[in-house]
Structure 1
Amino acid sequence: MTTQPDHPNPADRPEGPGRPDPNTSDALPMCYRHPDRETYVRCQRCDRSICPDCMRAASVGHQCPECVREGNRTVRRAEAAFGGRPVTTPVVTWALLAINVLAYLGEVINAPAVLGRFMMSADHVAAGEWWRLFTSAFLHAEPPSYWHILFNMWALFAIGPQLEKILGSLRFAAVYLLSALGGSMAVYLFGSYAVGASGAIYGLFGAMFVISRRMGYDVRGVLWLIGINVVLTFVVPGISWQGHLGGLVAGAVVTGLFAYAPARSRKAFQLATVAGMLLVYLAILMAVPPLAA
């Protein structure tokens, strides 16, 4: 006796034309994260089926999200020479340039008010106006004099990006600001008043010297740069030698501690360096009156 098949026409099968029965070993491969999505692509690491939304490009083929996350845990993140994330765009340098220019525009609008409130003054700092130690590093000689800010911003533009890429953005910012404070602290102790980013710029000169020594570069060019600027500090009238030399020493010390930090505890050591310098500045302010007063 001849029997008729249940579905004489393949097109009449529930699975559709030419599609295997999902209840057999020939079941369609479905994405492991999206069981309703058919796919014929498998993860190169775990061999699970993955749909286009779950595919992550790998060096060969594709991987699933879980394998990508697991792989990232074992990949060492790139770092700058002395720790921190590698820098492609020197955002701190551009931000410092912008702040200095904006502060100078404030001086153009009302120099007496801006300088009277924010310039470095040893007597005012001793009276409790500590913010002047910081704000004075973003002010410059009263308009219409432009040479002061032009020289400082040119120096920051010339050496800032390279130093930021070597140190990393956070460490570069720390060197710059601690150098600025170092210059203001020297003015507090041995001077009377000052304005300008020169303390911070000289700190970057000191940082260049330390980094060149640490990385095995020829330091003669840096020594010439520092030597010429130190001579100008004492030859050109009206320049605060305290701010310049204070910033130079502070920048060299901070960068030296950053560059020679123990590899195993580099981040902790560098953080302790920043905290230690701030504590030293605070202790001097609390215990020592202005020596030139």
Structure 2
Amino acid sequence: MKINKKLIILAIFVLSLAVLSQVSVPEESSQIKNSRLTYSCYFSMKKIGVALLQYADQEGDGLYFPNDLSVLVKKQYLSCESCLFCGCQPEVSYHYFPGLRKDMPHNMAILMEKNAPHSSSRQKGEKTGFCLFLDFSGPYRILEGDDRFLIQDMQKALLVAKENDKEVLLKILDDSLQNERSKSMSLWKIRQLGIPVFSTNIPEYLYAQSPFLSKEAAYAVFPWNEKMASDVLYFSLYDSNYFIRKSAWEKLFSGTSNIGFISPGISKFTANKFLKKK
């Protein structure tokens, strides 16, 4: 009787294997695969952004990023080289813009995907890629083809960052053909050089439509006329972006030991209380 039970169990087991061998596991659909790789790339770029900030704080005097992303792997801020590649195009690494600093305008791109490898969920046939800017709140999606224009804009802006001639920087601001990133960088460089702004048209940019231009103008004007620049900077204190709030706070309340305001959960009421004390 015991032998019969064993035979029955063995027969059931063999039959189960035969049935399972005929069951086909459905292949991953292209839509699911695209979604999986899209999320993977999104979080990979977020991870690289965190690593860049850690490097700047620990090895870049709080300002400077590495000249090459591979440094992040060598220094163990990232676990492996594969983090530097998009899953949709594993042979193409993320495009990195070396030469930037943490205190540069937040509309500067620091990392992006080339070739728009992801399908858009908004419109059929539309392709997008991710881009990380210096506000580090993204990555944001950019449309297919825009990556080429963004690279061109950034190349021009990085050249502006190396410019030390006041007249050249002011001409960039006045030139309607210059892109917004070059103008933002021009305002940043004018501030770095300590150029007096009231002999120029820089105060006019406090009222620019672009929030990036108005904020950079406010930073440039602040050392010369704190009151004129404060309205723009106060508005930045309510921004949802941590880094924008932090930079405005440090400019308005330099030297203060209370930095609780820059935590994400702070309310406008608390911000107003600080401003009244000021």
Higher relative contact order (CA 8 A, sep 6+): 1
TM-score scaled by length of structure 1: 0.28
TM-score scaled by length of structure 2: 0.30
Q: Whose helix proportion is higher, 1 or 2?
A: 1
Q: Whose strand proportion is higher, 1 or 2?
A: 2
Q: Which has more radius of gyration?
A: 1
